[in-house]
Amino acid sequence: MSKAKSDKVSPDLDTPTDLSPEAVVKISAAVNPLIADAFALYLKTKNFHWHVSGRHFRDYHLMLDEQGEAIFGTIDELAERVRKIGGTTLRSIGQVGQLQTIADNDEDYVPPREMLRELMEDNKKTVVNMRKAHEIADKYNDSATTSILENFIDAAERRTWFLFEASRQEGGNEA
């Protein structure tokens, strides 16, 4: 997809907004990769949820399921925010692949502690990217987008914390 095509919005999809055309383009360009990363992180989290094994199976299986659902819940809200301001959002898995910054993990087996650590790093990366998008939305006085991102940053930091603590336990640092 060419840059020019992604910057043009069909008149039928040109949602009225008080944001400038530049703001719509910049905010959409900052939020769409977050959506792609949410898809990638959701699938990786579910992958690890389905393939976790070991003595903490039940705890990790349930935690990863809960985290996957929370991540999935961000996708629609972010995509609808892009549409509310008059932008366009993702249309395909191919576009997710083009925009995602979260690396896939297709390994046949990943030890549980490595799963948790990898997801922890991915969630930390998500926070960094959300903060960058927040700065852009804030620059254009888009308080609704900044508010959404603030809540999602907090949720990703919580996931990071839980993954950190759970991975310490798996690593043999139990009390």
**Predicted local confidence at residue 7, as pLDDT:** 56
Distance (Å, whole) CA 31 – CA 42: 16
Cα-trace Rg, the chain: 18
What pLDDT, in 10s, does the model give residues 76-128? 999 999 999 999 999 999 999 999 999 999 999 999 999 999 999 999 999 99
Q: Which tokens in the block code for residue 139?
A: 């620059």
User: pTM score, two decimals?
Assistant: 0.89
Amino acid at 15: T
Give the three-state DSSP class for 11: helix
* Burial tier of 36 (Cβ tally within 10 Å: 0-12, 13-18, 19+): buried
**Domains by residue range for the chain, with CATH:** 20-170 (1.20.1260.10)
Please check whether residue 146 is in contact with residue 78, taking contact to mean a CB–CB distance below 8 angstroms: no
Q: For residue 50, name the pLDDT band (cuts at 50, 70, 90).
A: very high
* Average pLDDT rounded to a whole number, residues 29-58: 97
What pLDDT, in 10s, does the model give residues 129-167? 999 999 999 999 999 999 999 999 999 999 999 999 999
Distance (Å, whole) CA 21 – CA 153: 26
Name which of 40, 43, 46 is nearest 64 in CA terms.
Answer: 46
Q: Which residue pairs, CB below 8 angstroms and at least 24 apart, start in 19-24?
A: 19/85, 19/86, 19/140, 19/142, 20/140, 22/140, 23/85, 23/140, 23/142, 24/85, 24/86, 24/87
Give the residue carrying structure tokens 């040109």: 14
Distance (Å, whole) CA 30 – CA 151: 17
Q: Which tokens in the block code for residue 71?
A: 């991540």
